[in-house]
Amino acid sequence: MSTSNRPLVPSFLQKPDDRLLRNYPAIWQTRVHLVLYYALLVAAAIFGLSFVTYANAKDNSTVGGMLTFTILISLLGMVIWVIYLLRFNVFKRFGQWRATDSLLMYVLFTISVAAIISICFIPSAVQTMRANQQFGNEEVVQDINEINRTACLLEYDILDLDWKPDTCRLISKREEEAVRVSVDTVAEEAISREDSYTRIDTADLRRRMSQTDSVVKLSDSVFIFYSVPDYQFVDSYKADEYTREKVLTSAQLFRTYLKTRPNPDRAVLVVRLNALAAKWAAPGYQFENGYTVYGSEEHYTYRIRKKYALTAADYGIDNVVEKKYEWKDDGSAYFRLLWYFTLSITLLLFIYRHSTTRTFFLSVLTAVLLSILTGLMLMGSGGGSEGENFFIFLVFYYLLFGVLSLVIFTARSRSVFQGIALNLFTFLTPFMPLVVASLYVISKRYAYLHNRTIEGSVYYAIRDDFDSGPVYLLAELAGPVLFLILLQFLIRILYRKWQAAPEQ
């Protein structure tokens, strides 16, 4: 059967397409070669459009609109692919089917779905690429420090140079409990009004010691914490997260440049500060337009920002930093999003291709009804403080569906109930290592809570005591491996036997 007259097949793919149809129909029916070709064309077009759209990294991000557009393109591509996919099914027609074809078909489905969905991530990736092309990591931090330093030197006379003290007294556990018990009494209120100290516990003390600009210890229980006025007129909280040079804090700026009156060359510094402000100014914020950043026009921070147009520079730096580090901060989340969408859609397609239409939709209906029933039972009995009861239900359902699926080996006819069980067992298999890992992590947390000391924050201590990240990562890697093994040595055999059995 020649494919030379097929309008959707490019000329250079005509012969490979015809060869796959004649010799490898299981591969040909997936149309993976055409999916990859057209996905590459669409990806190149979206890349070019994004490259032009995100020419200025200092501008506000507009990736949301482009994302909506790419989602619509992906949905359209998915629908077209599925329409062609459903036109021919070698498995159900008992055509030429090798022992590894089910496994191969699943892998090719995964590649095709991932190629279509990955288009949605191109605009965000291009936006990050453009920001990194235009501005270096160290460059951002160096310019932030130079802007803040220059503004401080030029406007030394209007800066607030007085550090604000906060006297704190460390209270014991007994005192803390006494305060909790008697806080509503008149005597306690009178004592509280007379006490000029801020009461802190040991957890607050450790936090303040790690974050304070300066501290004076008067005794074992009394501390004076000093907070420095704000000298950071531009900043971005993630700017120095991936750099050797760090953004100077207000305390560092004071100790380095403001402890003694500076004598700068004002003309040179004004030109340099204006150049930096223009360099980083975000489009649309070139002028302050009376916009009060800190609420009071008399505050020195507002006056300095307005005088040198630093609000626009602050917005520009924030926009650049957000784009530069988006994939460093959220890249793993994006890959997981791509993976789980791909996995779910691939499983549904695989199940549909190996099951009857009626059994497939009854399986979906069963899953919905079980979800509603499980939700009602959890509402009545409680889901557990960590949601462990939900995971226990999933394990129970998985084992139940597994047992019902194995009955297919001894069944003399094809039962819709066995087909439903096999479909749900297949769908749940890749997720079960993650479910078991969640139960393990919850058990570790309960064990720690049982043995922990009273002092400190419970959830903060849990994160310090047990790192669940490697456990979840191992489970995420184990899920696909487990599924591929069961697919080759169990699931494909069950589907073939169920499909070949006579109907009841």
Query: Nearest to residue 31, comparing CAs of 51, 61, 60, 3?
Result: 3
Band (pLDDT 50/70/90 cuts) for residue 182 is very low
Residue 222 binned pLDDT confidence (cut-offs 50, 70, 90): confident
- For residue 100, name the pLDDT band (cuts at 50, 70, 90): confident
Number of domains in the chain: 2
| Beta carbons within 10 angstroms of residue 311's beta carbon | 24
222-227 and 198-200 strand pairing: unpaired
Average pLDDT score over residue span 426-430: 97
Helices (H), 86-100: none
Is residue 260 in a domain? no
Joined together, the tokens standing for residue 466 give 């047990």
Domain for residue 276, yes or no? no
Backbone angles phi, psi at 200, to 5 degrees: -135, 150
- Smallest Cα–Cα separation from 97: which of 25, 4, 175? 25
CB 494 within 8 A of CB 422: yes
In a domain, 82, yes or no: yes
What is the predicted pLDDT for the residue at 27? 80
In a domain, 294, yes or no: no
Coil/strand/helix, residue 170: strand
The Cα–Cα gap between 312 and 85 comes to 52
- Which of 134, 152, 183 lies at the terminal end of a domain, its last residue? 134
* CA 421 – CA 398 distance, rounded (Å): 9
The verdict on residue 224 lying in a domain is no
- DSSP string covering 135-167, please? --HHHHHHHHHHHHHHHHHHTGGGS--PPEEEE
Q: What is the pLDDT of residue 463?
A: 45
- Residue 7 resides in a domain: yes
- Residues 463 and 388: their CA atoms lie apart, in Å, by 18
1-15, 94-108, 266-280 — which is least confidently predicted? Answer: 1-15
Contact between 476 and 386 under an 8 Å Cβ cutoff? The reply is no
Model pLDDT for residues 27-81, shown as the tens digit of each residue: 888 889 899 999 999 999 999 999 999 999 999 888 889 999 999 999 999 999 9
**Of 86, 115, 134, the domain-final residue:** 134
Q: Is the pLDDT of residue 15 over 70?
A: yes
For residue 401, being part of any structural domain is answered with yes
pLDDT above 70: residue 399: yes
468 versus 491: which is more confidently predicted?
Answer: 491
Q: What is the pLDDT of residue 19?
A: 84
Question: pLDDT at position 148, please?
Answer: 95
Cβ pair 111, 339 in contact under 8 A:
no
Q: Of 131-145, 190-204, 425-439, give the lowest mean pLDDT range.
A: 190-204
What does the alpha-carbon distance between residue 269 and residue 220 come to, in Å, rounded to a whole number? 47
The answer to whether 112 touches 35, Cβ cutoff 8 Å, is: yes
Question: Cβ of 175: how many Cβ atoms within 10 Å?
Answer: 14
Provide the domain limits for residue 463: 355-504
Diameter of the chain by CA atoms? 97
**Is 52 within the bounds of a domain?**
yes
Residues near 141 by beta carbon (within 8 Å), at least 6 away in sequence = 239, 240, 243, 245, 246, 247
pLDDT at 250 over 70: yes
* Number of CB atoms found within 10 A of residue 325's CB: 20
Distance, in Å, from the CA atom of 91 to the CA atom of 101, rounded to the nearest integer, reads: 9
pLDDT at residue 458 in the model: 44
Taking the C-alpha atoms of residue 487 and residue 102, their distance in angstroms, rounded to an integer, is: 8
Q: What is the mean pLDDT of residues 285-290?
A: 49
**Strand-strand pairing, 164-170 and 198-200:** parallel
Q: Residue 437: pLDDT above 80?
A: yes
Taking the C-alpha atoms of residue 129 and residue 124, their distance in angstroms, rounded to an integer, is 9
Least confident stretch, 18-22, 237-241, 287-291 = 287-291
> Within a 10 A sphere around the Cβ of 192, how many other Cβ atoms?
11
The residue out of 80, 113, 134 marking a domain boundary is: 134
CA–centroid distance for 385 within its chain: 24
Is pLDDT larger for residue 123 or for residue 18?
Answer: 123
Taking only the tens place, the pLDDT of each residue in 86-97 is 877 665 554 566
> Binning pLDDT at 50, 70 and 90, where does residue 3 land?
very low
Across 258-277, average pLDDT: 92
Instruction: Report whether 159 contacts 152 (CB < 8 A).
Output: yes
- 425-447: average pLDDT: 90
Look up residue 256 and give its two tokens: 């380095």
State the average pLDDT over residues 277-290: 72
List the alpha helices (DSSP H) in 10-161. 14-23, 25-28, 32-53, 63-85, 101-117, 122-134, 137-154
| pLDDT-based confidence at residue 297 (cuts at 50, 70, 90) | low
Angle value at C-alpha 298, between 293 and 302, nearest 5 degrees: 30
pLDDT, residue 430, reads 96
Angle at 100 between CA 95 and CA 103, to 5 degrees: 105
Listed in sequence order, the DSSP H helices in 118-233 are 122-134, 137-154, 173-182, 186-194, 202-211
CA 13 to chain centre: 38
Place of tokens 């305060």: 179
How confident is the prediction for the chain on average, in pLDDT? Answer: 83
Query: What's the average model confidence in pLDDT over 391-420?
Result: 93
Q: What is the mean pLDDT of residues 266-282?
A: 93
Of the spans 7-21, 165-179, 183-197, 321-335, which averages the highest pLDDT?
321-335
Calpha distance 41→23 (Å, rounded): 27
Share of the chain above pLDDT 90, in %: 49
pTM here is 0.81
